[in-house]
Structures are given as structure tokens and as C-alpha cells.
A = this chain, B = another copy of it.
Amino acid sequence: MPSKTFNITIDTQAFNQMTTKQKQIITAAIDLFAEKGYANTSTKEIAAKAGVAEGNIFSTFKNKRGLLAAIINPVQRAIFPTTNQGAGAVSPAPYESLHEFMTDFCRDRLAFLQANRQVIKIFVAEIIYNDKLRQSLIKDFPASNRCWLQMAASLDQLKAQKLLVNWDNIKILKTIWSVMGGSALGYLFFDQPIKTTTLAQNVDTATRLLTYH
């Protein structure tokens, strides 16, 4: 069931245009970075797992950081797209209830998380000690991008119908995230599966917190 509004995915164009060997390197690096961390993985290990000579990594990605960037950049672009393609054409999908919106939003985010678990784990871990990444994250949250505008439009519509508390959208987003965040971190770092019942509970909780009163 596709989302009415969101459908954020990681752009695979760059990856698809790579040669077989380059894909093997990326895939092996993702496995190892997600399992042991960037700093604890050697390029020799990556090359061995990819079935490729070590030098190949450097002729393709320049250095180890370049390889990390090739993995992380698509994640960052998916979360904070900088190109505002179609930014003018925001047509909020007509949600008929807050609960419907919340289900749609949370399902989409969960699908994104599950489809890209490893790279998101690498991304989140990298944020902790990577100043540049962290700064751009703070700066771009939330950026004036298509996704955000679309969401804001939907929220404003719900507010107008008195189906949603009249808070500013950032506070609403933070509230949703604080409800979902625990499950997300448990899934990312503690291998705890997110059951559909848990998701439904989170949706209910968020809905309850944000219902107009």
C-alpha cells in the first residue's frame, strides 16, 4: 500500500550506474560498516569481502572517506533533499482524519527504515562524531523541500478542520518522532523487530497526543 503523500526513498541511480566491482565494494562496505563501524573496518577487509583488489577501492572512491561518502550521501539526500523539484506543486492529499495521516506517515517512515536499515545505522552512528554532518543536519532540519512542504500542507489542513492541535509544525513533528524514535532505535541498534502491533500502538499514541483538545 503506497503512501498518499510521502514515499521517500533512497536514490539508487548512482549505484545502478556503477560497474559490478564497484557495486561489490559498496555492498561489502555497507555490511562491514554496519556490523563493526567505520573506524573498526579496514580497507583490506572490505576488498577481501568484495572479492576485489584493495587498490580498486582507491581508484574508484579516492580514499576511505570517499567510500563512506558514497554510502552516506544518498541517505542524507533522501532525508533532506536539496533539489526542490516540484516544490511549487504541493497539493496536500486530503486526509480525512488525524489517525489516517499518522498511519500513512508512520508506515512510510517505517518502510524507509526497514528498506535501508544498514545505511541508516551507518549514517546515525557517523553523526555522533562527524561535526560537518551534524551541523548540516541541524541546519537542514526541516529544510524547505518537497517532502516537508507537503507534510506541512497536510498538517495545516488538519488544523483548519480542528482535527489536530494548533501547535507549530516542528513541535508536531518532534512529538511524532519522540513516540516513534524508541522503536526506531531499538530496531536499528538492538535488532528488535518492530511488530505491526507496536507500530499501531505508536500511531495511536501519537494520534492521542496530537488530537485537538
Contact = CB atoms under 8 A, between A and B. Distances in A.
B205 A208 contact: no
A182 B205 CA distance: 15
Given A37-B39, A40-B39, A205-B175, A125 B134 contact: no
Contact of A205 (B40, B138, B189, B209): B209
A161 interface: no
Contacts of A138: 190
Contacts of A205: 175, 178, 209
Contacts of A128: 37, 125, 189
Stoichiometry, as copies per complex, reads 2
A208 B185 CA distance: 23
A36 interface: yes
Interface in A127-155: 127-129, 134, 138
A127 B189 contact: yes
Interface string A176-188: 0111011101000
Greatest chain B CB density within 10 A among A36, A174, A178, A208 is at: A178
Interface in A32-81: 36-37, 39-40
Contacts of A174: 182
Nearest to A129: B37
A27 to B, nearest CB: 19
A119 to B, nearest CB: 15
Query: Would you list the 4 A-B pairs with minimal beta carbon distance, nearest first?
Result: A178-B182, A39-B39, A37-B129, A125-B128
Given A37-B128, A138-B190, 4 more contacts: A40-B129, A177-B182, A181-B181, A208-B209
